[in-house]
Amino acid sequence: MSEILPPCCGDATGQPPTGLSRRTLLRGTAWATGALAVGGVVGLPGTAHAAPVIYNPFAAYPITGTWQDHLNYGSLGGIDFGMGVGTALPACGAGTIQNIPDNGTGGHTVTIYHADGYRSQYMHLSQFLLAYGTAVGAGTIVGRSGGAVSAPGSGSSTGPHLHWHMINPSGVRINPLTYISQNPGGGLPKTTTEYDGVPGPAFYQRMQNWLRITAGYTGPIDGVPGPNTWKAGSGSAPAGATPGRSTG
Ligand SMILES: [Zn+2]
């Protein structure tokens, strides 16, 4: 089966079933079991029954490959967001980390094990940042994007981008954006101090999230401003990361 991949949107899992794909699948299943043992709090059945709260950390980036695009070229599904290599990747929800180096055509893949058997996977990474079993919250940076052709970890990617899909408890890929629309309430908390003029943790958490998108902040989204938060907010952002303006 031949595929026609849109530019910059190669999905690694669009390949026809092969021995390699099968091995990858089996390996993923085994690791899933291991992660559940390590991250038992989120993985144990019966401890939580609400669907996990997920938000879209990539809303600021253009979609270069839709879910339907993926299906059209034989992928199990995913969404591609165009972004430069090295972009910080925030967790879309709380969970436990599993890194899968060179995950077949998906390249370097990070899996976030959410509650109740849901998972999210980010593919074609250039760098892992967290150890196996690390617990993360929404917004925690879990790795850096990649996807440059033939770069280590890129898998079959045709250009810099992030591929994101979710997997439901039955092991079926699902569209994260559809999931979010059906399970609203995700996202970083809105400030509760909008009206009293006294910035609190929620305010600083939102500020960190904004600085992450606009000024290259890569620290935690924890609502506790530290040196990196102040540095990013004081204008010493990386070249090219500062919002543009008119010059005429
Ligand atoms: Zn993709």
pLDDT tens digits along 138-192: 989 999 999 999 999 999 899 999 999 999 999 999 999 999 999 887 665 554 4
Q: Which one of 182, 202, 227 terminates a domain?
A: 182
> How close is the Cα of 204 to the center of ligand 1, in Å?
33
| Residue ranges making up the domain that contains 120 | 12-182
Structural domain total, the chain: 2
In a domain, 4, yes or no: no
In a domain, 6, yes or no: no
> How close is the Cα of 78 to the center of ligand 1, in Å?
5
> Is 56 in the same domain as 93?
yes
pLDDT at 245: 63
> If 0-12 CB within 10 Å is exposed, 13-18 middle and 19+ buried, where does residue 3 land?
middle
- As given in the structure block, the two tokens for residue 49 are 């029954």
> How close is the Cα of 233 to the center of ligand 1, in Å?
33
DSSP conformational letter for 126: S
> How close is the Cα of 110 to the center of ligand 1, in Å?
14
> How close is the Cα of 121 to the center of ligand 1, in Å?
11
> How close is the Cα of 99 to the center of ligand 1, in Å?
18
The one-letter amino acid at 231 = K
The C-alpha atoms of residue 143 and residue 134 are separated, in whole angstroms, by 12
Q: Where are the beta strands (DSSP E) in the chain?
A: 63-65, 79-82, 88-90, 95-100, 109-113, 119-123, 127-128, 135-136, 141-144, 161-167, 173-174
> Is 237 in the same domain as 158?
no
> How close is the Cα of 76 to the center of ligand 1, in Å?
10
> Is 225 in the same domain as 136?
no
> Is 161 in the same domain as 239?
no
> How close is the Cα of 226 to the center of ligand 1, in Å?
35
> How close is the Cα of 203 to the center of ligand 1, in Å?
34
Q: Is the pLDDT of residue 38 over 70?
A: no
Q: What is the DSSP string of 84-101?
A: -TT-EEE-SSSEEEEEET
> Is 155 in the same domain as 108?
yes
> Tens digit of pLDDT for each residue in 84-113?
999 999 999 999 999 999 999 899 999 999
Q: Which one of 156, 182, 208 terminates a domain?
A: 182
> How close is the Cα of 12 to the center of ligand 1, in Å?
7
> Tens digit of pLDDT for each residue in 105-128?
899 999 999 999 999 999 999 999
In a domain, 37, yes or no: yes
CB 141 within 8 A of CB 134: no
> How close is the Cα of 65 to the center of ligand 1, in Å?
6
> Is 141 in the same domain as 196?
no
The C-alpha atoms of residue 83 and residue 58 are separated, in whole angstroms, by 9
> How close is the Cα of 171 to the center of ligand 1, in Å?
18
CA torsion angle 212 222 99 26 (round to 10): -110
> How close is the Cα of 1 to the center of ligand 1, in Å?
18
> Is 123 in the same domain as 101?
yes
Q: What's the N-to-C CA distance of the chain in angstroms?
A: 53
> How close is the Cα of 48 to the center of ligand 1, in Å?
30
Which residues fall inside 5 Å of ion ligand 1, going by CB? Answer: 11, 78, 80, 163
> Is 77 in the same domain as 193?
no
In a domain, 147, yes or no: yes
> Is 194 in the same domain as 169?
no
Give the least confident one: 47-56, 68-77, 182-191.
182-191
In a domain, 224, yes or no: yes
pLDDT at 10: 40
> How close is the Cα of 201 to the center of ligand 1, in Å?
35
> Is 195 in the same domain as 73?
no
The better pLDDT of the pair 203, 187 is held by 203
Q: Domain containing 18 — which CATH number?
A: 2.70.70.10
